[in-house]
Amino acid sequence: MTTTYRDALRQAMVEEIERDENVFLIGEDIGRYQGTFRVTQGLFERFKQHRVLDTPISEPGIVGIATGAAMMGLRPIVEMMTMSFSILALDQIINHAAKIHYMSGGQFKVPIVIRGPGGAANQLSAQHSHSMEGWYAHVPGLKVVAPSTVEDAYGMLKTAVRDDNPVIFTENPGLYSLKGEIPDDKEFTLPFGKCAIRHEGSDITLVGYSRMTHVCAEAAEALDQDGVSAEVIDVRSLLPLDAETIFASVRKTNRALVVYEDWKSGGFGAEIAARIQESCFDYLDAPVGRVGGLNVPMPYARNLELMCIPNKEDVLAAARQLLA
């Protein structure tokens, strides 16, 4: 079935709510307003208020309630209006949801999904444009995923809901209108911890996730026209990370460029680059390259905003430098 990224997420939630009576949605404006990005459109009318809970504007309260509910056997899906707002709930996410299973000696599970738009949208400015996935991938006890395709959004969200661990599920707002296919199978899921090879090549490896996977694919097509064969690896799952697929590609191509929308300094792409350097040093014909977002608060002006986000030309320039 052809659908959009946004609708695939909604379809996955519908099917999981219908499959498991313990699944419910909770968040700000997800019910009567139907979600800021309309991911939850129609769900309040369909499942009513005991399965789709509108909340006050209090991220610590939302995540705290959801964590307690998960400890008691429910499976909450928390929508953050933007993942930038999850900063307000860092204590609940990092000190509680991520640690309770460990600190209780395995007596409690915390099957909670925290999902929502992460990264720059279109002139949402500095406080609404954070890429939070690297922050959370630093935390033991969490799982962190960033799907780039419609099928991955559908299959990985269903996996997240069924997982007994807290999952951070980040969706780049630039992908919501992306179209693609999803299978006609309500039991279809995709595992965490497995990269996808989106474009095979032999001269350089481009590593990305979320929307940057598409930027890497555009750059790979342009490099093809130059006679350069680029392999594009879609990380998909940051924690757990499928490092071996990345390493296998780099050992084949001997060059690696990691692309991520987050601030370049300290972003998750730096972790990937470090692991490549540690495990593939003897195979590298050039230093591991990185293309990341500019280390500035996101501007409101559209022309300045675009300058801060990696694009195809940035990737091409960095790739050609590594190939020189």
Same domain for 219 and 147?
no
Instruction: Answer yes or no: is 298 within a domain.
Output: yes
Same domain for 95 and 231?
no
Instruction: Answer yes or no: is 190 within a domain.
Output: no
Tell me the pLDDT band of 69, cut-offs 50, 70 and 90: very high
> Is residue 202 a contact partner of residue 31, using CB atoms and an 8 Å limit?
no
Q: Of the candidates 142, 158, 181, which is a domain's last residue?
A: 181
Same domain for 101 and 130?
yes
- Across the range 47-69, mean pLDDT stands at 95
Same domain for 176 and 207?
no
Same domain for 203 and 169?
no
Tell me the pLDDT band of 24, cut-offs 50, 70 and 90: very high
Enclosing H/E stretch for 268: helix 268-280
Same domain for 235 and 312?
yes
Which pair of structure tokens corresponds to residue 251? 């050992």
Q: Of the candidates 117, 152, 181, which is a domain's last residue?
A: 181
Closest of 89, 187, 190, 208 to residue 142, by C-alpha:
89
Instruction: Answer yes or no: is 26 within a domain.
Output: yes
- Across the range 123-139, mean pLDDT stands at 94
Distance CA 128, CA 1 (A): 32
The Cβ-side half-sphere exposure at 192, using a 13 Å CA radius, reads 23
Q: Considering its fold, how many domains does the chain have in total?
A: 2
| Domain that residue 86 falls in | 2-181
Same domain for 158 and 200?
no
Instruction: Answer yes or no: is 220 within a domain.
Output: yes
Predicted pLDDT at 60: 97
Same domain for 102 and 212?
no
- The question of whether 128 is a catalytic residue gets the answer yes
Closest of 120, 142, 131 to residue 239, by C-alpha:
142
Alpha-helical (H) ranges within 38-191 are 43-47, 59-71, 90, 100-103, 133-136, 150-162
Predicted pLDDT at 184: 93
pLDDT digits (tens, 9 = 90+) for 114-130: 999 999 988 889 999 99
Instruction: Answer yes or no: is 294 within a domain.
Output: yes
Residue 170 has pLDDT above 90, yes or no: yes
Q: Of the candidates 181, 206, 221, which is a domain's last residue?
A: 181
The structure's pTM equals: 0.96
Same domain for 206 and 245?
yes
**Among residues of the chain, what percentage have pLDDT more than 70?**
100
| CA torsion, ordered 239, 9, 41, 71, to nearest 10 deg | -50
Residue 131 has pLDDT above 90, yes or no: yes
Distance CA 180, CA 161 (A): 22
Instruction: Answer yes or no: is 189 within a domain.
Output: no
Predicted pLDDT at 234: 98
Residue 304 has pLDDT above 90, yes or no: yes
Average pLDDT of every residue of the chain: 96
- Across the range 178-199, mean pLDDT stands at 97
Tell me the pLDDT band of 49, cut-offs 50, 70 and 90: confident
Predicted pLDDT at 17: 97
Same domain for 171 and 266?
no
Residue 7 has pLDDT above 90, yes or no: yes
Predicted pLDDT at 30: 95
Instruction: Answer yes or no: is 188 within a domain.
Output: no
Tell me the pLDDT band of 20, cut-offs 50, 70 and 90: very high
Tell me the pLDDT band of 79, cut-offs 50, 70 and 90: very high
- Across the range 214-219, mean pLDDT stands at 98
Instruction: Answer yes or no: is 75 within a domain.
Output: yes
> Is residue 229 a contact partner of residue 202, using CB atoms and an 8 Å limit?
yes
- Across the range 179-204, mean pLDDT stands at 97
Same domain for 117 and 244?
no
Residue of 15, 16, 28, 59 marked active site = 59
Sheet strand arrangement including 143-145: 52-54, 23-27, 75-79, 113-117, 167-171, 143-145, 237-239
- The question of whether 50 is a catalytic residue gets the answer no
Domain with residue 97: its CATH number is: 3.40.50.970
Domain with residue 303: its CATH number is: 3.40.50.920
- Across the range 48-62, mean pLDDT stands at 94
Same domain for 60 and 162?
yes
